[in-house]
Amino acid sequence: METTTHINKQRPSGPWSLAWYRELDIKGKKAFNASFGGWAIDAFDFMVFSFVITSLVNLWGIDRGKAGLLGTVTLLFSSIGGWIAGILADRYGRAKVLQGTIIWFSVCTVLIGFAQTFEQVFALRALQGLGFGGEWAVGAVLIGEIVTPKNRGKAVGVVQSGWAVGWGAAAILYSLAFSMLPETLAWRALFWVGIIPAFLVLYVRKHVSEPEVFVKTRAAQDAGMQKPSAWAIFSPSMLRTTVLAAILCTGMQGGYYAMSTWLPTFLKVERHLSVLNTSGYLLVIILGSFCGYIGGAYLSDYWGRRRNFIVFSALSVISIVLYLRLPLSDTQMLFLGFPLGFSACGIFSGIGAYLTELYPSANRANGQSFTYNFGRGIGALFPALVGHLSQSTNLATAIAVFAGTAYGAVFLMTLLLPETKGQALE
């Protein structure tokens, strides 16, 4: 039976308290802070692209299909890089691989700001994806192995909320850059800024040690001269879990990327909002996203993983259809953005803990990275497909079609997978 690192077990706490954070020891808190900050930075670097799509279309004369392909290629390569990072994390350590992924990702982000052609951006977005793929999965395993079973959903889910923080920072800097700089320079400046916060996190990450669970597992493997196999997650005992979890992650990420990648363009082109107004609408959605991450994190421990996925997938479909298809006024759209962000992001809060609980320690980072990044790779096709479909219909319809299909897959896979709430890691 695996152990977890915690203190202060006697202090009473309710289901919605912050006691889970107080129970972490110093190493656990450093690991949490580093993973949260790293995920926020990755969100900033990745989501910046969604704000500059329109500029690239206008300045370089590319169509929406090509623009969507730039979003897709990062996600496709992240599925490869993420699986590689998971395999390396099971062999060499979670903290070590975590540091490497953020350095790679940040450097590639800055280089995009110097690109002169579509082909150069395409190549750099592909390289960017190799680092992006491993960041979340490895960080989620690191936190999942540190906290107690009763708090695992909350801790890993709150780390996920770092995405909303990074997304919000990207929206704010987008407004500033495009208000103060000419468009030809503003989009490049957003990518250049992406390198600055990475260095702030690297210092913290150097002080994050490996979870006790991983150290003991590696010691046992070394004593027996056994190395974890990258293919173990496809063995007969784990194949069904791997397939179903991969499809579950595909639905979650396909729905999210279909919506988030094209939403700034939808607001600017079809709703005819200015740069500042577009940012205002997005900030409401991002605020809803942050609240959704936090709410989903606590509900995944309170309700259980499966019920959490079912409720949030249903809310996501309803919110997207209402937001995109109803003849809403600008004021109504502003307020409806909150539940849209809440549901689309809250569904992710339970997935990190869930995948951690589905796999044994020797193959945990491998299994979690593969399933999550397989979902990201297939879900990556959705922005490109939305872009192509929007050329024969309006953008709102294209987003709604692919997002609805994705969340339907989430609902079906949830019914076929087991509940793991409160499960000790074995």
**pLDDT for the residue numbered 13:** 52
247 part of a folded domain: yes
130 part of a folded domain: yes
**Distance of alpha carbon 370 from alpha carbon 366, whole angstroms:** 6
Smallest Cα–Cα separation from 355: which of 183, 81, 156? Answer: 156
101 part of a folded domain: yes
With a CB cutoff of 8 Å and minimum separation 6, the contacts of 149 are 4, 422, 423, 424, 425
**pLDDT for the residue numbered 8:** 45
Structure-token pair, residue 278:
């577009």
398 part of a folded domain: yes
**CATH code, 94:** 1.20.1250.20
264 part of a folded domain: yes
Please report which residue ranges of 196-271 form alpha helices under DSSP H: 196-205, 212-223, 239-260, 263-265
**Distance of alpha carbon 237 from alpha carbon 245, whole angstroms:** 14
- Ramachandran bin of 32, using left for φ above 0, alpha for ψ from -120 to 50, beta for the remaining angles: alpha
For the four alpha carbons of 210, 215, 218 and 222, in that order, the dihedral sign comes to positive
Contact 127, 77 (CB under 8 A): yes
Structure-token pair, residue 22:
């107080």
**pLDDT for the residue numbered 1:** 44
28 part of a folded domain: yes
Torsion of CA 284, 322, 275, 70, to 10 degrees: 100
| Domain enclosing residue 148, as ranges | 24-203+234-416
Statement: the pTM of the whole predicted model exceeds 0.85 = no
8 part of a folded domain: no
Query: What digits encode the pLDDT tens for the residues 337-387?
Result: 888 889 988 999 889 899 999 998 888 888 998 999 898 888 878 877 887
221 part of a folded domain: no
**pLDDT for the residue numbered 174:** 87
Residue ranges of the chain with per-residue pLDDT less than 50? 1-10, 12, 275-276
Question: How many structural domains compose the chain?
Answer: 1
Smallest Cα–Cα separation from 155: which of 134, 141, 173? Answer: 141
**pLDDT for the residue numbered 278:** 62
How many residues are recorded in the chain? 426
Question: What number of other Cβ atoms are within 10 A of residue 274's Cβ?
Answer: 13
